[in-house]
Copies of this chain bind each other. A is one copy, B any other.
Amino acid sequence: MTLAILFGGSSYEHEISIVSAVTLKKVLGASHRLLFIFLDPERRFRLVDAAAMKSDHFASGAYKKDPVLSLGAGGFTLPGGLLKGSKPVAFDVLLNLIHGRDGEDGKIAGMMDFYSIPYIGPRLEGSVISYDKLLTKLYARELGIGVIDYRLLRREDPRPDDLEYPLIVKPLRLGSSIGVSVVRSPEELDYALDVAFEFDSEVLIEPFIEGIREYNLAGCKTSVWEFSIVEEPHKEEFLDFDKKYLDFSRDEKVREAVVDETLRERLEEAFKKIYDPLFAGSLIRCDFFVREGEIYLNEINPIPGSMAHYLFDDFPALIERLSSHLPAEAPIGVDYRYIHSIQKAKGKA
């Protein structure tokens, strides 16, 4: 199978997407033929030679010599020369590995569906729901899954003075902990809000619950449900962006969390509700909190760092199976029946 890995993007997570792609080259390169399509910071698609897939190729600006692709009805094409036509970039399935804006906000999903390109990744609606932390909560609550209490604050709103501490401040729409702060006292609040409002005009405030257990579960649906091991992320209190960044380049397996069978089943049941049918075609990681026996959804990562490959036994085979279970938009036939019938009624046809 030829897999095109799409990475980069006009996103605060541009660099971690590069790290994810470099990691997946190692993980998938032995079993699949890989192509690398880089969405540069100016949103030009470029075809990157597999041999050049090192982070320095991007940081040094060397990528600027890589050919720019066109995207249109036939998919991606390489430009032709003066006398020869453009050449299609052929692959079986595209893997959307753009974290954050462009990749996780629904743009890439919409464009792939628009041009009928088969892809692994969240579809448009799932993207929007997981990208916006408020929509994630509304959606989970509707499914009967617990969520942590919250308050939504807009940039123009007065700063609240009736909050309980410690709390956590999050930009509404970013991933990878960017702009997120734990706030322990009212004196720290203003600064934390200023930071979060750098990244979004809306911010969520949640209680920060000490000692809450966090469990991550990744998976997808092929002909059956396919789940990863349950991971309990190791962290000192709170994983900030620098630490998460290193996390994205992980290429070792992690140890399975010690959870009893009942909890594992309950996490899987919650995962299934969230995944089906909204996330069909994607491999997502759900991050749950567990407190006093109750499960809460913290967030949905529809494109987890390096696809959370380290949580699976045989990741290359899983990607192969998922590739043959991708939803596609239903075709809609247009027969101009209404216009014809109206013209007939008007005596024109």
**Chain A interface residue count, Cβ-Cβ cutoff 8 angstroms:** 62
Question: Known contacts A125-B128, A332-B10, A332-B101: does B338 contact A56 (CB below 8 Å)?
Answer: no
The yes or no answer to A102 lying at the interface (CB within 8 A) is yes
A334 near B14 with CB under 8 A, answer yes
A-B contacts, 14 listed (Cβ < 8 Å):
A10-B331, A14-B334, A18-B339, A44-B73, A56-B343, A56-B348, A70-B70, A106-B106, A106-B125, A110-B110, A124-B128, A154-B277, A245-B342, A246-B342
Asked if A134 CB lies within 8 Å of chain B CBs, one says yes
Residue of B nearest to A277 (CB): B201
CA distance A14 to B338 in the complex (A): 10
Query: Provided the pairs A59-B339, A70-B70 are in contact, do residues A43 and B334 lie with their beta carbons within 8 angstroms?
Result: no
Identify the stretch in A135-143, A212-220, A255-263, A285-293 within 8 Å (CB) of chain B at 4 or more residues. Answer: A135-143
**Which of A25-33, A111-119, A183-191 is the interface stretch?**
A111-119
Q: CB of A15 within 8 A of chain B?
A: yes
| Contact A107–B124 (Cβ < 8 Å) | yes
Measured between beta carbons, the chain B residues less than 8 angstroms from A132 are: 125
Q: Contact check, B114 vs A102: say whether CB atoms are below 8 A apart.
A: yes
- Is A336 engaged at the interface, CB distance under 8 Å to the other chain? yes
Closest 5 CB pairs of A and B: A59-B336, A107-B110, A41-B334, A110-B110, A59-B339
**A149 interface residue per 8 A CB criterion:** no
CB neighbours (8 Å) of A107 from chain B are 110-111, 113-114, 124
**Contacts A72-B71, A111-B111; A332 near B11 (Cβ below 8 A):** yes
The answer to whether B42 and A73 touch across the interface, beta carbons within 8 angstroms, is yes
Identify A343's interface contact among B59, B73, B101, B138, CB under 8 A. B59
Q: Does A16 contact B (CB under 8 A)?
A: yes
Q: When each residue 45-87 of chain A gets 1 if its CB lies under 8 Å from chain B and 0 otherwise, what string results?
A: 0000000000110110000000000111100000000000000
Main SS of the interface on chain A? helix
Choose from B14, B19, B135, B336 the contact partner of A15 (Cβ within 8 Å): B336
Residues from 291 to 349 in A contacting B, C-beta threshold 8 Å: 329, 331-334, 336-340, 342-343, 348
> With an 8 A cutoff between CB atoms, is A227 at the interface?
no
The interface bits of chain A over 131-168 (1 if a CB of B lies within 8 angstroms of the residue's CB, else 0) are: 11011001100100000000000100000000000000
CA A19 to CA B339, docked complex, whole Å: 9
Cα A128 to Cα B11 in complex, Å, equals 21
Specify which of B44, B135, B338 is in contact with A242 (CB 8 Å cutoff): B338
Cβ–Cβ contact A55 & B110, under 8 A: no
A206: interface (CB < 8 Å):
no
Q: Does A208 contact B (CB under 8 A)?
A: no
Quick one: given A59-B336, A334-B15, are A124 and B105 in contact (CB under 8 Å)?
Answer: yes
Cβ-defined contact, B12 with A332, below 8 A: yes
> Which residue of B has the minimal Cβ distance to A111?
B111
Tell me if A55 and B125 are in contact (CB < 8 A). Answer: no
Residues of chain B with a CB closer than 8 A to A154's CB:
277
**Chain B residue at minimal CB-CB distance from A241:** B338
Establish whether residues B114 and A15, one from each chain, have CB atoms under 8 Å apart when the complex forms. Answer: no
The residue in A336, A343, A348 that gathers the most chain B C-beta atoms within 10 A of its C-beta is A336
Asked whether A339 lies within 8 Å of B15 as measured between CB atoms, the reply is: yes
Q: Which of A217-242 contact B (CB under 8 A)?
A: 242
